Structure 1
Amino acid sequence: MSHPFESYRAEFPVLGEQLYLNHAGVAPTSLRAASAVKGWMDDLVHHGILHERGWEAHSEHVRGLAARIIGASPEEVAFVRNTSHGLGLVAEGLDWKPGDEVAVATSLEYPSNVYPWLHLKDRGVEVREIATPNGGVTPEAVAAVLTPRTKLVAVSSVQFATGHRTDLDALGVLCERAGVLLCVDGIQSVGCIPVDVKKSRIHFLSADSHKWMLGISGIGFLYVAKDVLPRVRPALVGWRSTTDAWNFNRSHFELRPDAAKFEEGSAAYPGIYAMGAALELLLEVGTDAIGARIGELLARLDSGLRDLGCEVGPSPEDRAGILTFLPPGASVRALSAFLSERKVAHSVRRGRIRLSPHFYNTHAEMDRLVELVRAYRPG
């Protein structure tokens, strides 16, 4: 094996306590991320703002890491509080006109990728429902709802409840041909599988770091393609949104031309330092290698659970980092409680048990999960 994945387990002490299969929910963070935050805190404690320029320089380094992991340029990346914050900036900032339409699968998507679009109703924007009979958004289903009034398609790269992976390359081609903007909730893919916003022709992507990126909550990033940046008006502005931000002796209101215009005030340094360490770890291992490793682990889970008679999804060709299953003849709620008692971190989503391992999980851990399901006896 070219990548010693298991050598990274020491970075995640939680693995000594739990069988951690909930990276699609909230992931544990690493010792190096904690160390990065502590280093910044110690600096502030002992030196005040003496090294503020260093914090700023490091923040720009982290912006570059965020850009690199999705194939963007740093000028196209803004720090945001979370995925909802980024999607909201897009929804509130675009130049909507009464009669414009947004296509979104409101029955399937996580609320973060539904509510910002429904909130536009009072501006005359209509939400058109994308059909999802198989638990995912397909290019064909999107094509079926596009009209001359469609301005934007909003979709998750991977559906949080079903685990269905969206074919973003095909959807990007479709949207480009139709002259429609493509906005992606990327939280279930960035850090899990390779993401290339240029190859997929994505205009907007928002993701925060507390899931597959192995960072912490409260910090993430928003990608806005350079050619559409001028079309998005910042919903909030402050001193930092402007071209002469650090000159406090005059008022010079000229918005920055890059994505940093969406950062209105003081930086969330602890979060940025944590996310930076997390991104460095992921890039060190390699996104291709991570995606392949997670795929191996899911295939092992899939095989073992099917052998027990479980109904498992999604199918391998539609899969990213999530596997869901229904146990034969057992209550999902009761089995979930049984797993929780045995310190298996997992989720239940829309009536199915959801498992989401990361690259440092082992084949033995997948087998242990299968054995626990086998051992469960209802009642």
Structure 2
Amino acid sequence: MISSPDLDAYRSEFPVVQEQLYFNHAGVSPTSQRVATAMREWVDDLLLHGVRFERGWEARTENARGLAARMIGAAPEEIALVRNTSHGLGLVAEGLDWRPGDEVAVATSIEYPSNVYPWLHLRDRGVVVREIEPRDEGVTPEAVAAALTPRTRLVALSSVQFASGYRTDLEAIGALCERSGVLFCVDGIQSVGCIPVDVKKSRIHFLSADSHKWMIGICGIGFLYVDRNVLPRVRPVLVGWRSTTDSWNFNRSHFELRPDATKFEEGSHNYAGIYALGAALGLLLEVGMENVEARIRALLAHADAELRAIGCETGPSAEHRAGILAFLPPRGDVKALASYLSERNVSFSLRRGRIRISPHFYNQPGEIDRLVEMVRAFSGR
């Protein structure tokens, strides 16, 4: 496998490579030099000038919003800036006009809690959470179809399952939801920044993701997409001065909610986080999401082949893979292997009894080879 020189040139953006084999972008990513620079830029502005250049902060906010929209094929007015994925999903769950007996279809047994708890929290409003039965450690269109009833109002699922790495067929499920008259809500944190995402092509109504995983940003900032056609149906559960149409006029009370997704932004922004988000998204768009996806796919194919060659059990298969590969060693306890790798400065996650690796575009095949050699050495002890 030949690495792209253009992608390798970006390694200087990520000094973490000097310290670790970093394969944990599905967990918490290291950020880049340009993200750190962008954050310092805002902090230094505040330090030296106070609020003098506040208009510039707002301009950078709108720039970040536009970049987020580009990342997923949306319009800027469909993007709200949120604290994290859970925040965005909670705004959707709490903002819809549920009726007793309404159903939400969720694969609670395999989903990350962020995409389970907001829906379970609706039970005291009479909403029923109907289980989607997972197949092959993922959610298939057939499984979703089997879970739908005349009472189903919304299907909630992850674009990629966090533990198994199974990639959901969003287009097929989106088409199914459209035919059934059901809203489609996606936890996109394991796909945005890893693979190309097109919310319109996939007929997604809601998508929430924050930047500390595949977007290679920081914790505490992300975005929520709400399709313009359903925006009027979602009531903001938190409102403040920024939610309104005359938000910068503090001399009168004029409570008229904004008509776009910014109605979900109730108060003062996290500008340091927004500067970071803009820089992170700008870097990915500069590289090109098709190039990002191709490099990650190549790295995982290489890892899959080499790990299987030494007797590891791996998954998911290539056709259901996005950015995650999970594996078991041929011999030895997986927890002991996890300790062995951690002691040797390998960053990964242990999820549901398997080692989960998730490289990004700046990783190299040689780093995968070093990991495989460690697994080989451990298994041969």
Q: Secondary structure at the match of 1:198?
A: coil
Q: Do the aligned residues in 2 keep the contact of 1:331 with 1:378 (CA within 8 Å)?
A: no
Q: CA deviation at 1:281?
A: 0.2
2:277 to 275, 278, 281: 275
Q: CA deviation at 1:245?
A: 0.1
2:26 to 24, 27, 49: 24
Question: 1 CA distance for matches of 2:5 and 2:206?
Answer: 32
Q: CA deviation at 1:3?
A: 6.1
Aligned to 2:59: 57
Would you say how many aligned residue pairs link Structure 1 and Structure 2? 379
Aligned to 1:37: 39
Q: CA deviation at 1:352?
A: 0.4
Q: Structure 1 counterpart of 2:21, which letter? A: L
Q: Secondary structure at the match of 1:161?
A: coil
Q: Structure 2 counterpart of 1:355, which letter? A: I
1:233 to 226, 230, 235: 235
Q: Do the aligned residues in 2 keep the contact of 1:334 with 1:378 (CA within 8 Å)?
A: no
Q: How does 1:202-221 map to 2 (within 5 A)?
A: 202-221=204-223
Q: CA deviation at 1:270?
A: 0.4
Q: Do the aligned residues in 1 keep the contact of 2:88 with 2:223 (CA within 8 Å)?
A: yes
Q: Secondary structure at the match of 1:325?
A: strand
2:124 to 118, 122, 125: 122
Question: 2 CA distance for matches of 1:2 and 1:25?
Answer: 25
Q: CA deviation at 1:2?
A: 6.3
Question: 2 CA distance for matches of 1:378 and 1:224?
Answer: 52
Q: Secondary structure at the match of 1:127?
A: strand
Q: Structure 2 counterpart of 1:12, which letter? A: F
Gaps of 5+ in 2: none
Aligned to 2:327: 325
Q: Do the aligned residues in 2 keep the contact of 1:100 with 1:126 (CA within 8 Å)?
A: yes
Q: Secondary structure at the match of 2:223?
A: strand
Question: 2 CA distance for matches of 1:3 and 1:328?
Answer: 34
Q: Do the aligned residues in 1 keep the contact of 2:295 with 2:361 (CA within 8 Å)?
A: yes
Deviations 1:130-185 (A, max 9, x none): 00131000010000010110000000000000000000000000000000000000
**Distance 1:68-1:197 versus aligned 2 partners, 3 A rule:** same
Question: 1 CA distance for matches of 2:195 and 2:294?
Answer: 8
Q: CA deviation at 1:377?
A: 4.4
Aligned to 1:141: 143
Q: Structure 1 counterpart of 2:267, which letter? A: G
Q: Do the aligned residues in 2 keep the contact of 1:100 with 1:124 (CA within 8 Å)?
A: yes
2:295 to 293, 296, 305: 293
Q: Do the aligned residues in 2 keep the contact of 1:94 with 1:232 (CA within 8 Å)?
A: yes
Aligned to 1:170: 172
Q: CA deviation at 1:329?
A: 2.0
Aligned to 1:67: 69
Question: 2 CA distance for matches of 1:328 and 1:307?
Answer: 10
Moved over 6 A (4+): none
Question: 1 CA distance for matches of 2:133 and 2:249?
Answer: 51
Q: How does 1:185-204 map to 2 (within 5 A)?
A: 185-204=187-206
Q: Structure 1 counterpart of 2:261, which letter? A: A
Aligned to 1:339: 341
Q: How does 1:359-378 map to 2 (within 5 A)?
A: 359-377=361-379
Q: Are 2:264 and 1:265 aligned?
A: no
Q: Secondary structure at the match of 2:259?
A: coil
Q: Do the aligned residues in 2 keep the contact of 1:169 with 1:200 (CA within 8 Å)?
A: yes
Question: 2 CA distance for matches of 1:244 and 1:25?
Answer: 40
Question: 2 CA distance for matches of 1:11 and 1:177?
Answer: 45
Question: 2 CA distance for matches of 1:269 and 1:18?
Answer: 30
Aligned to 1:159: 161
Question: 2 CA distance for matches of 1:94 and 1:81?
Answer: 20
Q: Do the aligned residues in 1 keep the contact of 2:331 with 2:379 (CA within 8 Å)?
A: no
Question: 1 CA distance for matches of 2:5 and 2:78?
Answer: 31
TM-score normalized by the length of structure 2: 0.98
Percent identity of the aligned residues?
73
Question: 1 CA distance for matches of 2:4 and 2:347?
Answer: 28
